[in-house]
Amino acid sequence: MNSSLTDFLNKFEKASSVLTMWTTASNSDAGYSFDAAVDNSFKVESYFQSNLAFRLKSAEVMQLVTLIQQSKKAQSKMENWDAGEIKTRFEKIKSIIESNKLKLAGVEAHFQGTTRRFQVQWSVEPMIHVIDSLLGKIETCNEVSPKGLIGAITPKANSFYEIGWRIVYALFHKDGMVVKPAMETAISALLWQEILKDCELPEGLISFVYGPGDSIGQFLMDHPGVRNISFSGSYDTLKSYPISLEKKYQLFFNGKNSVCVLNDFDFKTGMKDILRLFVEHNGRGVFSPTRLFVIDSAEKEFKLALAEYLLTLPTLKSIDDEFGYLPLRASEKARLVELKSRFESEEAKIIYGNENFLFYSDLANCSELYQENLELPIFNLTGVKYAHEMTKWLNNSPFGHSVVIFGPEEKTRKLGMKSEVGRVILNPKPLKNEQISPVKLSGFGDVSFSVPNSFYSYTKN
């Protein structure tokens, strides 16, 4: 299938220099060129291939004002759309993504330091799954009225999915949207610009703006015309933004998510499945786990098996490797060394570590390191006497909104029902596994996640 996205991906692979992006006030111009020099821009290189790079120029305030005005005007053109018109767009989007699945995953892998297979499993296929889910409820889209312009601030991890699900939910609700992606993975927004070109949307309905959070993100938070904010990212970033009850919010805080291993689980044969969650997310995904809980009686044996398995894992050298440690950039390695000294000063014990990856145990439960958003591959193992203590650790932290539980079906389900987090996965299968309704301060106020009502809610106390 030939499409704007297909043409873009082919050009990107053949570009001799860097792709340069900037903000425009019109969706008719994607706002990029190949091999162009732009002043005052920010360059991002692939983790694996230095000739694959993009350069980003931040938006100016007046450009953002224009985009907001255009999105609001375009929204009025959707008011009379019926379910069939939205269905047609969803089917077109799905078809374009499916036709370019591997190339999309490849671009995402280059700029997030993961494998192509990982991006297919955790970003591209979940995006298709969201579209299928909404197609199954498409007749209900006529039962809701638009809620107003959405400002979406999205993270650097799993960014194709994190941008995409917001777009299709906005279309389902007939809402306009202005998306500000993380600067490090802004290319994901450009991929979505190319997809939407072929979907016959009102001009300016979904707009993209590039730039730092402290200026562009702040402006979206402040602007009175943006009635709804959908935010994913670090809690530290969110704290810098003002939260006003005049707006409605979706808030997904990054990091401090957990993996629980019950004592009836055969961790020796299942260690690969457990460690994939930590190694592949590299400590930086929106659903990245940083804490591992095991039962005391198995802790010593578990540590030995964990360290033995980690010794066999290589550093990633290509997006088509099986999996391994992320090859950190120099600045990230320096930060890792700094944090390593803090862990050691609190007498945490290292289970395994190298310049790209650290796994600790025995960190004191009063440590501030438990609450900080480190955004690096640093992980901690905690032993507990009983399984119910795991839920205390999960529920008493204001951060973290997902948990993966390994163990017998009945026990994992029971623990999952008691866990006050936004996403529960049992013996992990990211797409097909049952997800238990959440009750956590991050996420939607409506815990049912029913489609027409879940997209907007006042922030929870």
Q: How is 342-404 classified by DSSP, letter by letter?
A: HHHHTT-EEEEEETTEEEEE---TT-GGGTS---SSEEEEEEESSHHHHHHHHHH-SS--EEE
pLDDT of residue 63: 86
The confidence band for 454, taking pLDDT boundaries of 50, 70 and 90, is very low
- Report the b/e string of 399-422 with b at 16+ CB within 10 A: bbbbbbbbbeeebbebbbeebbbb
Whether 147 shows a pLDDT value over 80: the answer reads no
The confidence band for 132, taking pLDDT boundaries of 50, 70 and 90, is very high
3-state SS, residue 109:
helix
Cα-based torsion angle of the residue sequence 32, 33, 37, 39 in order, rounded to the nearest 10 degrees: -10
Is the Cβ–Cβ distance between 383 and 368 less than 8 Å?
Answer: no
* Mean pLDDT within 119-137: 92
* Mean pLDDT within 192-200: 93
Q: Which of 186, 123, 199 is nearest to 152 (CA)?
A: 186
Is the Cβ–Cβ distance between 61 and 68 less than 8 Å?
Answer: no
Q: Which of 133, 33, 54, 113 is nearest to 315 (CA)?
A: 113
Residues, the chain, total? Answer: 461
pLDDT of residue 448: 39
Q: What is d(CA 233, CA 254) in angstroms, rounded to the nearest whole number?
A: 5
Q: What is d(CA 429, CA 432) in angstroms, rounded to the nearest whole number?
A: 6
For residue 288, the tally of other CB atoms under 10 A from its CB is 23
Calculate the average pLDDT of the chain: 82
pLDDT of residue 457: 38
- Domains of the chain plus CATH, in order, are 59-253+443-454 (3.40.605.10), 257-426 (3.40.309.10)
* Mean pLDDT within 224-241: 79
The confidence band for 100, taking pLDDT boundaries of 50, 70 and 90, is very high
Q: What share of the chain is helix, strand, coil (3-state, %, to 5)?
A: 45, 15, 40
Q: Which of 129, 86, 114 is nearest to 319 (CA)?
A: 114
pLDDT of residue 373: 67
* Mean pLDDT within 178-198: 92
What's 149-205 look like in SS3? CEEEECCCCCHHHHHHHHHHHHHHCCCCEEEECCHHHCHHHHHHHHHHHCCCCCCCC
* Mean pLDDT within 132-159: 86
Cα-based torsion angle of the residue sequence 377, 378, 380, 381 in order, rounded to the nearest 10 degrees: 40
> How far from chain centre, in Å, is Cα 396?
23
pLDDT of residue 42: 81
> Encoding tokens for residue 373?
């958003």
- Kindly report, residue by residue over 363-414, the tens digit of the pLDDT: 877 777 776 767 788 999 999 999 989 988 887 765 666 789 999 988 988 8
Q: What is d(CA 9, CA 3) in angstroms, rounded to the nearest whole number?
A: 10
pLDDT of residue 384: 93
pLDDT of residue 38: 64
Q: What is d(CA 206, CA 201) in angstroms, rounded to the nearest whole number?
A: 8
Q: Which of 218, 226, 76, 71 is nearest to 151 (CA)?
A: 226
Asked which of 183-192, 213-222, 365-374, 451-460 is least confident by mean pLDDT, the reply is 451-460
Asked which of 241-255, 347-361, 441-455 is least confident by mean pLDDT, the reply is 441-455
* Mean pLDDT within 415-433: 69
- Kindly report, residue by residue over 41-96, the tens digit of the pLDDT: 788 888 888 888 888 888 888 888 988 999 988 988 888 899 999 999 999 999 99
Residue labelled with tokens 């440590």: 367
Whether 440 shows a pLDDT value over 60: the answer reads no
With pLDDT > 90 as the criterion, what percentage of the chain qualifies? 36
Phi, psi of 75 (to 5 degrees): -60, -35
Q: What is d(CA 115, CA 135) in angstroms, rounded to the nearest whole number?
A: 29
Q: What is d(CA 239, CA 103) in angstroms, rounded to the nearest whole number?
A: 36
* Mean pLDDT within 327-337: 89
Contacts of 361 (CB under 8 A, 6+ apart): 303, 348, 349, 351, 380, 381, 382, 383
Cα-based torsion angle of the residue sequence 210, 213, 214, 220 in order, rounded to the nearest 10 degrees: 80
